[in-house]
Structure 1
Amino acid sequence: MAFFQLLLSFFSKALLILSVFLFIAFLIYCLYVKYIHMKYDHIPGPPRESFFFGHTPTLLKTMNNGLVHDKFLEWSETYGPVYRINALHYVSVCVTCPEATKEIMMSPKYPKDKFVYNRLFYLFGERFFGNGLITAQNHEVWYKQRRIMDPAFSSLYLRGLMGIFNERAEKLMDKLVEVADNNTEVNMLHLVNCVTLDVIAKVAFGMDLDLLTNSSPFPKAIAICLKGMMYYVRDMMFQFKPKNRRFVKEVKEACHLLRKTGAQVIQERKTAMQNGEDVPKDILTQIIKTAATECITQEDEEFMLDNFVTLFIAGQETTANQLSFCIMELGRQPEILEKLRNEVDEVIGMKQNVSYDDLGKLTYLSQVLKETLRLYPTAPGTNRQIDEDMVIDGVHIPGGVGCMFSTYVTGRMEKFFNDPLKFDPDRFHPDAPKPYYCYYPFALGPRSCLGQNFAQMEAKVVMAMLLQRFEITLVPGQTFDIEDTGTLRPKSGVVCTIKHRKNKD
């Protein structure tokens, strides 16, 4: 009995000591948060809703009821070209100042923001983007990967992909012929998602998915990963809430599926190359060949897998969403649609395929696609790290802070674009003044998107064929709202009726 009393006394004292320790730790943390507030509170910004969680509750409520990027736009117009956001002891500054945008994004001196991109290394404990092209913060680590990847996205190599672009777009046209003949409604977002995933799987990794006729777990896995990424970055407590356990499990399983598939594809290709077999002259082969000339470590092997996931997702989702938004806007803009159709008829005529030379002649289509990305940037922003003190628009910014740039916000500000909510492709006419560091749907500088030329070539081929052959009408009653699923997409899915074009000649 005395032994149990002694044991109870020991645990009581231990619990008391632990409680005191935790209280002191909590008090120290409170003081640290207060110190951070004092250090950065001279920067303009909206009132914090919570001492600890800062602006996080406001942003989460906005996410549940609308588009968080509209809140960033509201704050930018209210608090000026640089303002502050707090979350626990973290601070980010949101910047719309073109001069600061140029200074920070065009220089390798400013790495990717540690807080944001560390969260993308893993998703709920499962390796996701890892240390690939999007997330690598160390310039040397990133540059080594970019040097390996660059040849696979050269203009000479991309020119050779036109056959695959045309082939996969043709499969979409065949599907739309069925829709038109059956006089049924169709979700265009779903269809172009299938096409763009088909394209990136084929041209990058030699995978024949044929998603317009076959089922596959990949589209759902990508969507779940992106949605999980959005919550994982913006809500640090998301994974600890019991109601989210099932979704977190689905995200981890989807992430594991993508990486497992990537590992199999890479290993099979390497084995085939080592055995002297004929292999597709695709991006994966180019990457493996180029990597063979480098000193490849085990971590480099992980980088290749990281970049498989990066290309598989980024090379598909954003292009599909851009195409969907473009179709949505053309359905509301008959004059622009008519002008665009005339250009396509003049350049493409009755040809079955779109040639590489045709792409350069489709100048108005280029303007339409650029204007689509101004209003609906599918990747709405990027983040950098400011490690040293600097001054932005007269505001002193102490070093050690993340910096957020949003092309969604700047693209919808009156100070940069007259009548910003109007869809006007003439903003991007070759003779029009170019936007000064307020339009960057593919980011800017050395960390700009490697695949932007690839994406726009693909988008042009699909849109040109679509306009050449079909009349597309939006089904009445659907919403034109934007949905944030990690990337921006049309919430309605862009439901349309399809008819064959008449009197094309």
Structure 2
Amino acid sequence: MDLLYGGHIFESALFLFLLLLLLSFCAYCCYVKYIHIKYDHIPGPPRDSFLFGHIKSINKYLNGPGLSHDKLLEWAEQYGPIYRLNALHRVILYAISPEAVQKYMMSSEYPKDPYVYNLLFSLFGVRFMGKGLITDPDHTHWYKQRRIMDPAFGHSYLKEMMGIFNEKAEYLMQKLEENADGKTEVEMHAMINRVTLDVIAKVAFGMDLHLLDNKQSPFPHAISAVLKGMVPHVQNPYMQYMPQHRKFVKDVQESAKLLRRTGRECIERRKEAVRNGEDVPKDILTQILKSAEQEGGYDDEIMLDNFITFFIAGQETTANQISFTIMELTRQPEITAKLRDEIDDVVGSKRDVSFDDLGKLQYMTQVLKESLRLYPPAPGTARLLTHDDVIEGIRIPGGVALNFNTYIMGRMDKFFKAPLTFDPERFSPDAPKPNFCYFPFTLGPRTCLGQVFSQMEAKVVLAKLLQRFNFKLAPGQSFEIKDTGTLRPRDGVICTLTLLTNKTKES
């Protein structure tokens, strides 16, 4: 009898559980329907299904051989300037509108989308960017951090960086000369990535990594791993619990731990130097410590958040930009020749590029800007629409994120004539300026703190490369792009190089 009675209790409990599960599912479906009713007046492609929305289509392009941003561009052409995507109960809006860019990115009233940026607080359970300058959606807290960090990127300190820029770039030239026989294939992206990582480690944190010689260093792989982990983590943070992803997830976790462990050691060494009264450089690390002191009770983990933020953002996007530019110049002989003429006029045969030289390299500035238009390493950002509004004549209920994408806008004919043509003249001083449809470093209060630093470094490396070498893509190389958290050249820009002589310059 007791067993029978116990069986009835189990069956009743199971029935109630299944009933609650069914009722919860029905309630959730009703909520999804409510979201559809609320936002379905906004144009967008047909949903793949009622419940999952556009997830199937999004995943097809995120995980396929192409670039998901190209599909987003196609949808922008078809459904823009404001279009909608659905994923379960979430609505994703893309604003392909200069007016919207101006209104929402130029104002501090609209914070970064907490949903997306909070997902980058950690990677698969390991703290990653936390509440650093890129990911902190709280404007007040972010502003305190930014105000303290600004001096590390002031004019006088940037000028002092020129020696390190030249030193690291010159060593890259020496390494490339060893293989400049016109036959040996060199993976330019990997080489440049190591140089930009060397630079940020030295100028920001006083670390000497010597990555062009130290091939066994774990840092390049660690940064590559966490970047590769960002997109799938945002897509599906629960994949860490799936056995088939265990190896990938563990690699990402260990890489994040390595970077934070390195940061902790670096911060402790600098703290000790300050306690001992030693002279310390006015670099990013010093500013991080100063920030902690001024905040009072500043969480050590937030110091590490900013270490990770600068360590990654300070080198990855610059390396990608330089690599994309080299890739494009291999099929632009006239632009390359004009660049070389400017470098000859401004730098001449000098070994080092001076700070004053940088401002005179006007055509190089145009080339780098055009490269960012076609190949922006950081293609998009998002702002939270906190209240109901009207954009391009369409009523937008509040409480939804607006996604802005410079890759999409940079490749649309309505904003740039013949957008797939690489034309640096678009950015000449006399050309009409693109208004709020070009933002590779974002715009407004949250604009990238390190953009001047980045472009200075890019100019030094590119000037030395064009001063010394001819380069052409190796057979089988493409001009395709891949998304690994940032946009980078898919095939690594593998080139063969030859030394540039006066004769080859003239020809």
TM-score higher than 0.5: yes
2:146 aligned residue: 146
C-alpha separation between the residues in 2 aligned to 1:7 and 1:261?
Answer: 57
TM-score (norm 2): 0.96
- Aligned partner of 2:91 in structure 1 is 91
Aligned-partner SS, 1:354: coil
2-structure distance, mates of 1:59, 1:239:
20
In the alignment, which residue of structure 1 is the partner of 2:412?
413
Tell me which residue corresponds to 1:390.
389
Distance (whole Å) between structure 2 residues aligned to residue 52 and residue 115 of structure 1: 20
CA separation in 2, counterparts of 1:392 and 1:286? 40
CA distance in 1, matches of 2:298, 2:102: 36
Any idea what SS the aligned residue of 2:29 has? helix
Q: Which amino acid aligns with 2:263?
A: G
Asked whether the equivalents of residues 288 and 306 of structure 2 are also in contact (C-alpha less than 8 Å), the reply is no
**Structure 1 pair 329–428 and aligned structure 2 pair: CA distance change class (3 A):** same
Shift of 1:156: 1.5
What amino acid maps onto 1:216 in structure 2? Answer: S
**1:262 aligns to what SS in structure 2?**
helix
User: For 2:180, what is the secondary structure of its paired residue?
Assistant: helix
Mapped partners of 1:415, 1:281: distance in 2? 45
Q: Residues 108-187 of structure 1: matches in 2 within 5 Å?
A: 108-180=108-180, 183-187=183-187
Per the TM alignment, residue 20 of structure 1 is displaced from its structure 2 partner at its CA by 1.1
Task: Write the distance in 1 (CA, Å) between the matches of 2:284 and 2:263.
Answer: 13
After superposition, what is the alpha-carbon deviation per residue over 1:47-79, rounded to whole angstroms, capped at 9, x for unaligned?
A: 111222211211111122210000110000000
In the other structure, the counterpart of 1:80 is 80
Please list, as runs of the form range in 1=range in 2, the aligned pairs for 1:9-28 lying within 5 A after superposition.
9-28=8-27
Secondary structure, counterpart of 1:221 in structure 2: helix
Percent identical residues: 61
CA deviations 1:82-140 (Å, max 9, x no partner) are: 00111111112101110111000000000011221111111111111111111111111
**Helix, strand or coil: the match of 1:201?**
helix
Matches within 5 A, 1:24-423: 24-65=23-64, 66-180=66-180, 183-214=183-214, 215-235=216-236, 238-292=239-293, 294-299=294-299, 301-423=300-422
The Cα of 1:182 is off from its aligned counterpart by: 8.4
Indicate the SS of the match to 1:414: coil
Q: Which amino acid aligns with 2:464?
A: M
Distance (whole Å) between structure 2 residues aligned to residue 490 and residue 212 of structure 1:
20
* Deviation (angstroms), 1:241: 3.9
Letter paired with 1:150: D
Aligned pairs, how many? 502
User: How much has 1:298 moved relative to structure 2?
Assistant: 4.1
- Separation (CA, whole Å) in 2 of partners of 1:233 and 1:295: 31
Deviates more, 1:84-93 or 1:319-328: 84-93
8 A Cα contact 1:55 1:87, kept in partner: yes
Question: Which secondary structure does the structure 1 equivalent of 2:426 belong to?
Answer: helix
Q: Is the alpha carbon distance of 1:341 and 1:35 closer, same or farther for their aligned partners in structure 2, counting shifts above 3 Å?
A: same
Q: 1:499 & 1:371 partners in 2: Cα distance?
A: 26
- Aligned partner of 1:437 in structure 2 is 436
Judge conservation of contact 1:60–1:235 (CA < 8 Å) in 2: no
Residues 56 and 234, structure 1, Cα contact 8 Å, conserved in 2: no
Could you tell me how far apart the structure 2 residues matched to 1:453 and 1:234 are? 32
| Stretches of structure 2 lacking an aligned partner (at least 5 in a row) | none
Residues 227-266 of structure 1 show CA distances to partners (whole Å, capped at 9, x for unaligned) of: 1111122345544543222211211111111111111111
For residues 132 and 281 of structure 1, the distance between their equivalents in structure 2, rounded to whole angstroms, comes to 19
Is the partner of 1:184 in helix, strand or coil? Answer: strand
After superposing the two structures, state which structure 1 stretch, 69-78 or 211-220, moved more.
Answer: 211-220
Aligned-residue CA RMSD (Å): 1.4
Query: Which amino acid in 1 is paired with 2:405?
Result: S
> Does structure 2 conserve the Cα–Cα contact (< 8 Å) formed by 1:56 and 1:235?
no
1:179 is paired with a residue of what secondary structure? coil
Amino acid at match of 1:351: K
1:334-360 Cα offsets, whole Å, 9 max, x none, are: 000000010001100010100000000
Give SS of 1:385's match.
strand
Measured against aligned partners, the alpha-carbon deviations of 1:4-57 in whole angstroms (never above 9, x if no partner) come to 433333222222211111111111111001100100000000111122221121
Kindly state the Cα deviation for residue 181 of structure 1 after the two structures are TM-superposed: 5.0
Larger deviation, residues 243-252 vs 366-375: 243-252
Q: Cα offset for 1:277? A: 2.6
Task: Tell me which residue corresponds to 1:466.
Answer: 465
Which segments of 5 or more consecutive residues in structure 1 lack a partner in the other structure?
none
- Structure 1: 4+ residue segments shifted above 4 A: none
**Stretch deviating more after TM superposition (186-195 or 221-230):** 221-230
